[in-house]
Structure 1
Amino acid sequence: MKTSRMGRVMAGMIAAGAVIALAGCTQADPTAPDTDTDAGAATSDTIIVGSFAFPESEILGEIYAQALEAAGFEVETQFNIGPRQQTIPALQDGSINLIPEYNGNLLAYYDVDFEQRTTEDVDAALGDAVAADDLVVYESAEAEDKDAYVVTSEFAEANDLVTIGDLVNVQPFTLGANPQFSELGYGLPGLASVYGVTDVEFIPYEDFGGPDTVRALVDDTVQVADIYTTSPALVAENLVVLEDDMNLIAAQNIIPLLSASIDSEELADVLNAISAELTTDDLIALRDRVEGDEQASAATAATDWLTEKGLL
């Protein structure tokens, strides 16, 4: 279901529950033909902003949509679509034509064996990769949402931990992460081959850096955990992200991905201005507002951020 900008923002202002209800309408297959009676309302000049099916992506989609609307573009949204197996076809068939992406994971979608790790190298390879599907990327943001080796501040201070490599001095220790972490290149195999850290007891947690993983780290069930860099728990629990100075984990910068058919200098100016301002700390704060006690809508959080940065 394509959601008009005005209708969606008004719904978000009326009640959070209304936003949830509207979001639920977007769960249909985005690659299927649109059978709504007003399906023809979107023209070739309309920017249809999509998102993945998790809160951070919807917040970023809101930031893109609101900034573009303020710049005079005709904008619609179609959030909570699903994984890349749905979003890439949606970009190709016109169900959407713009989505906030993550450069490393996007490159992996096209080349599972990619070797680029830094933001610059990943971005350089990404342009050619997406061009094969008539897609374009603009400038990436400093903001990253990626796996990280995390410890408590107490453990870091007691053991002089700054980088992942410093973990060699605290072996043996216990590490908590998602079950696949024991086989992933940036998980236990990479920890051994890149940093020489081999004496590790692994405890799997199914919540991918969520509350169970955080609780295990804080109560010292594990001494190291894989937690994403935009998790509000990093601030709430005063956790420390160990520096990855050997680039074990590929860059995961926020980057706009769009259909080549809507590529323009004016569009690039708006989206690149967002990327120039967006930081990882911003994403943590935005997620905390939406997912934490405040329970702000993605629309409200996006509006406030854009206003603070002078982009509205």
Structure 2
Amino acid sequence: MNTRKTARNLLIAGGMTLALGLSACSGDTGGSGEGELSGASITVGSKEFTESIVLGYIAAEVLENAGADVTDQTGISGSATVREALVSGEIDLYWEYTGTAWVNYFGHTAEDVPDDLFAAVAEEDAANGVAWLDQANFENSYAIATGRDFAEENGIATLSDMAEYMQQNPDDAGICAASEFINRDDGLPGLEEAYGVKFDPLVEVDLNLVYTQINEGCAFGEVTTTDARNITNDLVVLEDDRGFFVEYAGAVTLRQDVLDEYPAIAELLAPVSEELTNEVMATLNGRVDNDGEDPRDVAEEWLQEQGFID
């Protein structure tokens, strides 16, 4: 493996938030000066984890290809921080998840989720001056995983199986999880209440490290459903048989004033969202997390392959 690729792997695994956040502060992708968004200046943000960054670059590349002057603010740490950046005008758009908005921003619980969560979220956020573009065809929900050998040896396939195992084996009930999941109502606190369990020890680690720590330091770990590292680390994603976890469908969010000024944004991104399935996202995420590719290169190559950009 060459030095550049090694550096990329280290960046992604251990320091993506800092490195991307710093580079984003001055990042400017430029624009072609032609197309539906010629003359537009748009700042694209993202959260700090791989999928959000890839999605941010997908949006940025499409807008730039349409002539916009795009400023890169990908890699902002924490959902609340990137949301505030959008509302305050520091960024103009980023990809968000329905469950995050419903629980974290609007203060609802995981028990009062409507049948059409996307419609409910879009309607409620309209009052905040935030528009939701077409929902994509992928859902990146929280989940709990364990090692395949461990799951098969102990007959664990569902979260109820996990709860039963933990009750019978209290000394082997640890979980590795990232800070945000630990503190979210739709994360660890709600999960423990829904399944009547208490994870102990609770090991807080960077989300990028959870996947390798399962069965190394923890019996269980927080994962997300579109992460390719579930496959490469031979993990079993446990079925949420009580339906606790909220739907996390992805969609572009942007301020309504930005959409009013540049309505072509919605038209440009709609066909892209339609092609983004769970399988596609897992593949793109894997190229970054497993293969060490640059997130922007991954986004650009996929868009070119699909014919969305030149």
**TM-score bucket of the superposed structures, by smaller chain:** 0.7 to 0.9
One of 237, 241, 264 as aligned partner of 1:241:
237
One of 298, 301, 304 as aligned partner of 2:301:
304
1:272 aligns with 2:266: no
Residue 194 (structure 2) aligns with: 194
AA aligned to 1:74 is A
Residue 113 (structure 1) aligns with: 108
Equivalent residues in 2 for 1:9-158 (5 A)?
Answer: 24-27=22-25, 45-70=40-65, 72-79=66-73, 80-115=75-110, 121-158=116-153
Question: What CA distance in whole angstroms lies between the structure 2 residues aligned with 1:126 and 1:160?
Answer: 38
RMSD of the alignment, in Å?
3.7
Alignment gaps of 5+ in structure 2: 1-6, 27-36
Deviation (angstroms), 1:239: 0.7
Question: What CA distance in whole angstroms lies between the structure 1 residues aligned with 2:71 and 2:178?
Answer: 34
Partner-residue secondary structure (3-state), 2:24: helix
Deviation (angstroms), 1:289: 2.4
Residue 224 (structure 1) aligns with: 220
Change (3 A) 1:62 1:192: closer
Change (3 A) 1:95 1:255: same
State the Cα deviation string for residues 139-162 of structure 1 (Å, max 9, x = none): 222333342111222233334433
Residue 36 (structure 1) aligns with: none
Change (3 A) 1:46 1:149: same
State the Cα deviation string for residues 147-183 of structure 1 (Å, max 9, x = none): 2111222233334433322334534241313387777
Is the contact between residue 68 and residue 270 of structure 1 (CA under 8 Å) also seen in structure 2?
yes
Partner-residue secondary structure (3-state), 1:66: helix
Residue 33 (structure 1) aligns with: none
Is the contact between residue 209 and residue 225 of structure 1 (CA under 8 Å) also seen in structure 2?
no
Deviation (angstroms), 1:43: 8.9
Is the contact between residue 192 and residue 199 of structure 2 (CA under 8 Å) also seen in structure 1?
no
Deviation (angstroms), 1:184: 5.5
AA aligned to 2:72 is Q
Partner-residue secondary structure (3-state), 1:205: strand
Change (3 A) 1:124 1:114: farther
Partner-residue secondary structure (3-state), 1:226: strand
Deviation (angstroms), 1:277: 1.8
Deviation (angstroms), 1:89: 4.3
One of 155, 167, 172 as aligned partner of 2:162:
167
Aligned residues: 279
Is the contact between residue 176 and residue 213 of structure 2 (CA under 8 Å) also seen in structure 1?
no
State the Cα deviation string for residues 218-276 of structure 1 (Å, max 9, x = none): 34x54322223344431211111112233211122221101112326643233222222
Partner-residue secondary structure (3-state), 2:157: coil
Deviation (angstroms), 1:22: 8.1
Taking only the aligned residue pairs, the percentage that are identical comes to 27
Is the contact between residue 176 and residue 218 of structure 2 (CA under 8 Å) also seen in structure 1?
no
Is the contact between residue 103 and residue 109 of structure 2 (CA under 8 Å) also seen in structure 1?
yes
Deviation (angstroms), 1:63: 0.5
- TM-score normalised by L of structure 1: 0.72
Residue 256 (structure 2) aligns with: 260
One of 262, 283, 286 as aligned partner of 1:285:
283
Question: What CA distance in whole angstroms lies between the structure 2 residues aligned with 1:203 and 1:94?
Answer: 41
